[in-house]
């Protein structure tokens, strides 16, 4: 029987994973975030309102769904607590029953955001385009074993001792390397009291919970942040994030390493967008780009930064599908392309005078140029369409063309941000 599913991004992120998770949760018992932190945002619009989620799993709006923050996430107590308060204020119940935080999740410490900011300042025009949420310093410290686990909150004396050791070390770097102000012991004590203690009731052994739930036939949905091209190992390094965004990491980052994933839904946007720095071969500029950006409301959920926009990049997308091992695709924001007489699609790259069809090594990517083909657009508004056969022929042709090029079936097409603005393509 088909059970577990991962919903992942195929491109640079912001593909609309949150809205797909929100839709899918109707059929799942548990939603797990397995990597990343509060550095990106899912926008979800449903009967409870409009929400910009950063760390909370998108299943938080369904009454019977248990939401888990796995050991692979960057657990920022300060931001998480602010997000819990914010979502609760809008009438959504969040309790230790429907939100569980892995005791093995490492804590993003107060100096991580500071380190991120200082390093981006030092890099100046060579910066990576970090969202400055402390994610890269956090993951570096996690792998250096220089942070603390959420479960250590249950051992306050040992945790204090550990934190003081880390403080001493980090202050050497803050002062010595960056000439910055050191962090004080009082600051850390306050941080523990004001944020860590608040999230403590949610912390438990989520691995045991997941294993038992799975044995009892419960269905798990794994929710990723960002997309294939930002994966630390498989993305456009170093313009990646500092964690693994691909579905293969979901069992590890969730706390249930033995989890089997039966379906991998790859979310692909009907055109391309990219937040931050790095090569973006099919990027569009000028009025054409501005019109697409405005039509798609392409401004970062966390930062408000205008997103770079471009033609659907079939080379990057096919690669994204491959590294995710996607079994099916949700093509989002097709409605945004309505009214374009001709829709540009990047069907190949040229590199060193040759046409190539395989996504190249990251260093070569900055020399690649797009080969653009134009597809016939449709003039009518499609946001009210709910059936495949009711889409204009040009829209169906566009979807079928993409489907063939990426070699993965498109099962869902979204034509608006609302929960029901979806077409299921058989």
Rounded Cα gap, residues 385 and 390, in angstroms: 6
Q: Considering only CA atoms, which of 321, 279, 241, 293 is closest in space to residue 40?
A: 241
Which residue of the set 22, 27, 29, 42 is catalytic? 42
Closest approach of ligand GDP to the CB of residue 57, in Å: 12
Identity of the residue, 91 or 304, whose beta carbon is nearer to ligand GDP in the bound complex: 304
Rounded Cα gap, residues 247 and 263, in angstroms: 10
What is the SS3 string spanning 238-296?
A: CCCCCCCCCHHHHHHHHCCCCCCCCEEEEEEECCEEECCCCCCCCECCHHHHHHHHHHC
Identity of the residue, 19 or 375, whose beta carbon is nearer to ligand GDP in the bound complex: 19
Quote the distance between the C-alpha of residue 344 and its chain's center: 26
How many H helices and E strands in the chain? 13, 18
Rounded Cα gap, residues 138 and 155, in angstroms: 22
Identity of the residue, 360 or 416, whose beta carbon is nearer to ligand GDP in the bound complex: 416
Does the active-site annotation cover 14? Answer: yes
Residues making contact with ligand GDP (CB under 6 A): 9, 13-19, 40-43, 45, 301, 332-333, 335-336, 414-417, 421
Closest approach of ligand GDP to the CB of residue 42, in Å: 3
Which residue of the set 14, 22, 76, 116 is catalytic? 14
**Contact yes or no for 248/224 (Cβ under 8 A):** no
Tokens, residue 125: 């025009």
Q: Which helix (H) or strand (E) holds 120?
A: helix 110-123
Identity of the residue, 15 or 78, whose beta carbon is nearer to ligand GDP in the bound complex: 15
Q: Considering only CA atoms, which of 258, 414, 205, 200 is closest in space to residue 422?
A: 414
Rounded Cα gap, residues 234 and 324, in angstroms: 10
Identity of the residue, 197 or 418, whose beta carbon is nearer to ligand GDP in the bound complex: 418
Closest approach of ligand GDP to the CB of residue 338, in Å: 10
Closest approach of ligand GDP to the CB of residue 248, in Å: 19
Rounded Cα gap, residues 343 and 372, in angstroms: 10
CB atoms within 10 A of CB 354: 8
Closest approach of ligand GDP to the CB of residue 205, in Å: 28
Identity of the residue, 57 or 151, whose beta carbon is nearer to ligand GDP in the bound complex: 57
Closest approach of ligand GDP to the CB of residue 301, in Å: 5
Residues with catalytic roles: 14, 42
């Amino acid at each position: 029987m088909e059970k577990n599913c991962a919903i992942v991004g195929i491109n640079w992120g912001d593909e609309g994973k949150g809205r797909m998770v929100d839709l899918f949760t109707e059929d799942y018992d548990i939603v797990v975030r397995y990597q990343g932190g509060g550095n990106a945002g899912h926008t979800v619009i449903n009967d409870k309102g409009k929400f910009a989620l950063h760390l909370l799993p998108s299943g938080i709006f369904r009454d019977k769904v248990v939401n888990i923050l796995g050991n692979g996430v960057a657990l920022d107590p300060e931001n998480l607590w602010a997000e819990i308060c914010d979502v609760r204020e809008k009438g959504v119940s969040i309790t230790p029953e429907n939100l569980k935080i892995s005791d093995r999740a490492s804590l993003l410490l107060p100096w991580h955001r500071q380190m991120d900011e200082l390093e981006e300042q030092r890099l100046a025009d060579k910066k990576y385009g970090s969202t400055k949420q402390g994610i890269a310093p956090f993951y570096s410290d996690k792998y250096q074993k220089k942070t603390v686990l959420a479960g250590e909150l249950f051992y306050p004396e040992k945790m204090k001792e550990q934190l003081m050791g880390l403080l001493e070390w980090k202050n050497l770097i803050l002062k010595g390397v960056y000439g910055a102000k050191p962090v004080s012991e009082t600051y850390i004590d306050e941080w523990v009291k004001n944020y860590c203690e608040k999230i403590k009731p949610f912390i438990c052994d989520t691995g045991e919970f997941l294993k038992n739930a799975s044995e009892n036939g419960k269905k798990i949905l794994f929710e990723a942040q960002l997309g294939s091209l930002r994966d630390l190992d498989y993305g456009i390094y170093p313009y990646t994030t500092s964690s693994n965004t691909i579905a293969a990491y979901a069992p590890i980052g969730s706390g249930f390493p033995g989890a089997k994933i039966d379906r991998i839904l790859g979310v692909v946007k009907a055109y391309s967008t990219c937040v931050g720095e790095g090569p973006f071969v099919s990027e569009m500029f000028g009025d054409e780009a501005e019109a697409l950006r405005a039509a798609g409301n392409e401004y970062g959920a966390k930062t408000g930064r205008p997103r770079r926009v471009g033609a659907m990049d079939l080379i990057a997308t096919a690669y994204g599908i491959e590294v995710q091992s996607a079994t099916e695709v949700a093509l989002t924001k097709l409605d945004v392309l309505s009214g374009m007489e001709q829709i540009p699609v990047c069907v190949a790259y040229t590199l060193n005078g040759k046409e190539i069809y395989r996504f190249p090594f990251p260093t070569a990517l900055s020399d690649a140029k797009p080969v653009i083909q134009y597809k016939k657009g449709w003039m009518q508004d499609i946001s009210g369409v709910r059936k495949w056969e009711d889409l204009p022929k040009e829209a169906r042709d566009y979807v079928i063309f993409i489907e063939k090029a990426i070699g993965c079936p498109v099962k869902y097409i979204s034509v608006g941000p609302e929960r029901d603005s979806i077409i299921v393509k058989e």
